[in-house]
Amino acid sequence: MTQSDQRIDIVIAGGGFAGLSLAIALRQGLGPSTAIMVADPTLGKGHDGDERASAIVAAARRLFETSGVWQSAADEAQPILDMVVTDSRVEDAVRPVFLTFAGDVEPGEPFAHMIENRFLLDALEKKAHEVGIGLRATAVKDFVAPSAHAMEPGGDGAAIRVGLADGGTISARLLVAADGAGSSIRERAGIAVHGWEYGQSAIVTTVSHERDHEGRAVEHFLPAGPFAILPLKGRRSSIVWTETTKEAERIIALPDDAFHAELEQRFKLHLGDISAVGARRAHPLGFFVARSFIAERIALVGDAAHLIHPIAGQGLNMGMRDIAALAEVIVDAARLGLDIGGAEVLERYQRWRRFDTMTMGVMTDGLNRLFSNRSAVLRLARDVGLGLVDRVPNLKQLFIREAAGLVGDVPKLLRGKSL
């Protein structure tokens, strides 16, 4: 550390869902004497450019509620009251239903809500500001691990030195990489990933319709990939429509009337006439899990640690599991007087999250492979499987609890308990 370094306890690179949620949880768990900073060049610029909406499962909603974030976004959130899964071809006039889910995880608590990303991100940024997080609109440019500078004059073996794009340097006990799937911190730390591209992209847009969706989410498994209709507040739905990347690019570039025809062919007219009301964008899809979630005084969270197919709407929710686990191990360590960025604490976080992440990653990858194809044999196998799940109520209840993030070693914040 040099004399010009600013001293902070925790620097979080990335002010998306993962970074802001972690900052708030840590601040609330550790109190104002711990200095926390979030650095992200997009801070303070609003989130209107994000056309996506997310399914927030019950466990993640509990975390947002516990930290007081949900309360200012709740008016914009649409509960998912039931879910219908079909397996068909684009040209089929009728899409037979193979699986339905309905019901609460606890009485009065839906298993998920849909909310547009911009509302939740705005609420997170507002809360982070309110609780006194240092929000700095700049990127983390580089860092020097303690082992590399400990022997220099003024070096500190218990601090990582973080360089910012605005010229600042910070000395911190812990650097959290919440800088998304293309994480430059992960790369700089030399952490490789296991994964692959799918050659698929998700077209995302918002549709308004004549009739009420009644809180129903619909997932049509079409040969090119899932076509999801996810209910938003009002007579609107968010569409997540998977195609091969080439086909997605073609569809996105179509004139409005031709785009509408493609959309209607898949959506059908069960909610009356539809019209696309939002921007349309294609997101290339891939899968990876980082080989390690930690390095010297560094922890990876959210998409920086793992990227999954949106088929089950679980990417952000997995990130919230990272946040809840990391915040819990750090707060526990601080209460015991341990070093919050020390190897022991980070190992505990990694043990908690990496196996669970692998399981969810493999499951969503398998789902995508099982459904995104034209094989008649696989179609029969999956339809028999879905039909069986549909007929066994206890199995369905387990699926609902699993999808809601309430199965396994669930961290406190996801159970709605404060740290």
Ligand X SMILES: Cc1cc2nc3c(=O)[nH]c(=O)nc-3n(C[C@H](O)[C@H](O)[C@H](O)COP(=O)(O)OP(=O)(O)OC[C@H]3O[C@@H](n4cnc5c(N)ncnc54)[C@H](O)[C@@H]3O)c2cc1C
| CA distance linking residue 80 with residue 316, whole number of Å | 17
At residue 408, what are phi and psi to the nearest 5 degrees? 95, -160
Residues in 49-78 at the binding interface with ligand X, rule: CB under 6 A = 52, 54-55
CA–CA separation, 151 and 171 (whole Å): 15
State which of residues 25, 26, 140, 224 lies at the interface with ligand X (CB under 6 A): 140
- Could you tell me which stretch among 129-137, 310-318, 369-377, 399-407 binds ligand X (CB under 6 A)? 310-318
**Residue 34 in contact with ligand X, rule: CB under 6 A:** no
How many Cβ atoms are within 10 Å of 212's Cβ, its own excluded? 12
Cβ distance to ligand X smaller for residue 323 or 330: 323
Nearest-approach distance from CB 103 to ligand X, in angstroms: 20
DSSP string for residues in 218-279? EEEEETTEEEEEEEETTTEEEEEEEEEHHHHHHHHTS-HHHHHHHHHHHH-STTSSEEE-S-
Place of tokens 């010009």: 4
Binder of ligand X out of 302, 341, 361, 405 (CB under 6 A)? 302
Q: Which of 66, 237, 317, 350 binds ligand X (CB under 6 A)?
A: 317
Site string for ligand X, 222-261 (x = CB under 6 A): ------------------x---------------------
Judged by CB under 6 A, the stretch of 8-16, 65-73, 265-273, 323-331 that binds ligand X is 8-16
Min CB(184)–ligand X separation in Å: 5
- Inter-CA distances, 66 with 229, 316, 418, Å: 29, 17, 6
Q: What is the DSSP string of 312-359?
A: GS-HHHHHHHHHHHHHHHHHHHHHTT--TTSHHHHHHHHHHHHHHHHH
Q: Which stretch binds ligand X (CB under 6 A): 155-163, 251-259, 313-321, 411-419?
A: 313-321
CA distance 93 to 269: 11
Residue 10 backbone phi and psi in degrees, to 5: -135, 125
Q: Which stretch binds ligand X (CB under 6 A): 178-186, 270-278, 375-383, 394-402?
A: 178-186
Nearer to ligand X, 35 or 228 (CB): 228
Is position 324 an interface residue for ligand X (rule: CB under 6 A)? no
* Chain residues in the site for ligand X (CB under 6 A): 13-19, 39-40, 42, 52, 54-55, 139-140, 178-180, 184, 202, 204, 240, 283, 302-303, 310, 313-317, 319
